[in-house]
Amino acid sequence: MHPTTVPTAAAPMHSRSRDTRGDFLLQPPDPARRVPCRVDPVDLRRLDLLALLTAAGIAPSAGDRAAIEQLSVLPGSVHTALHRWLEQAYMFCR
């Protein structure tokens, strides 16, 4: 049980919403204050491929890293087709 105290000048009361436990909820991030960051398309394709394999229940082996790296370097159209094939195969396995 948490002791409660009356807010004083040294401990101002916050106007943010509280959840049921009495904790303060975080405010949503301000898009204007985000740090500009550009991720290389090859890195995005690699991460997308790893996420898709994981979602399909396919755990890449240690030796698969080189193959995933090579697939990620291929053009976006090849990557799109690969995603479509894996998604269709995953849907058939359900």
Q: For the chain, 94 residues long, give each residue's pLDDT as a single digit of tens.
A: 445 555 555 544 555 555 566 677 888 888 888 888 888 999 999 999 888 888 888 888 888 889 999 999 999 999 999 888 888 887 755 5
CB 89 within 8 A of CB 58: no
Largest CA distance in the chain: 63
**Joined tokens for residue 38:** 């550009």
